[in-house]
Amino acid sequence: MSDNNLNNLPGGFKGMAQDMGSDQTAFKGVQWGKFMMWIFLLSDTFVFSCFLISYMKGRSSTVVDWPNTSEVFSLHVGGVPVPLLLIAIMTFVLITSSGTMALAVKYGYEKNKKMCAWLVLATAIGGLTFVGMQVFEWSKLIHEGVRPWENPFGAKQFGSFFFMITGFHGVHVSIGVIFLFIFARKTFRGDFDTGKRGFFTSQKSDYVAIEILGLYWHFVDLVWVFIFAFFYLW
């Protein structure tokens, strides 16, 4: 809008038009998909924060003894219980997958299709391994009698908080794994090199999509670090 047209507008509308124009200038050149991913991650941060704050409040306010996580989540190796062994392996796998995802983004921007594809695939396998171990963890606790409404190890709130928080995070990981396998196939096929249009959108594919998926995956890994610290170590 020209200055002459702005001058013809009422005072309030003139300021509004200038504000809208400055916002458009500020965000010009920003990848739309990347910007929307950041908005989603911010909203998801709020949700996970509410879950963890509720957990801390519920744990600190209960009068019943809270279960000893070192005993509840121990694995027997050679007849000897090893505290948090499975959780430590899960954490190592997920953090390692974050490293492979970062390398995939690097090789993607270098147009190294083969390395990028293999690293995305390795990240997907790491995420799938994590989900498999989480399913084993859930089945073990369910077999021992832990339910969302019941807990033989102590406070009943333990089961509801555990299944809600780890389940919600597990859904995020599972969704990420699905998209990682899809993107690995697209990378192997060369869609990001040829600019093939996506299935859900008419926009041309490029390696920015790998970075956007990487943002999501790093967020999932970071959330697990907080869950590990507050739920398993505290």
pLDDT digits (tens, 9 = 90+) for 128-172: 999 999 999 999 999 999 998 888 988 889 999 999 999 999 999
pLDDT at position 202 is 58
The confidence score (pLDDT) of residue 224 equals: 96
Identify the pLDDT of residue 199: 58
Q: How high is the pLDDT of residue 88?
A: 94
Q: What is the mean pLDDT of residues 1-28?
A: 51
Mean pLDDT confidence for 197-219: 81
User: In this predicted structure, what is the pLDDT of residue 214?
Assistant: 96
User: Nearest 5°: phi and psi at 146?
Assistant: -80, 130
Is the predicted pLDDT of residue 234 greater than 50, yes or no? yes
The candidate with the shortest Cα–Cα distance to 218, out of 116, 111, 100, is: 100
What is the pLDDT, as a whole number, of residue 6?
A: 46
Question: Would you place residue 231 in the very low, low, confident or very high pLDDT band (cuts 50, 70, 90)?
Answer: confident
pLDDT band at 3 (very low <50, low <70, confident <90, very high): low
DSSP state string for 68-108: -HHHHT-EEETTEEETTHHHHHHHHHHHHHHHHHHHHHHHH
Q: What is the pLDDT of residue 4?
A: 54
If 0-12 CB within 10 Å is exposed, 13-18 middle and 19+ buried, where does residue 229 land? Answer: exposed
Q: Where are the domains of the chain?
A: 1-30, 32-233
Fold entry, domain 32-233: Four Helix Bundle (Hemerythrin (Met), subunit A) (1.20.120)
Range from 3-7, 51-55, 180-184 carrying the lowest mean pLDDT: 3-7
pTM of the model: 0.83
Give yes or no for residue 106 having a pLDDT over 90: yes
Rounded mean pLDDT of 48-69? 91
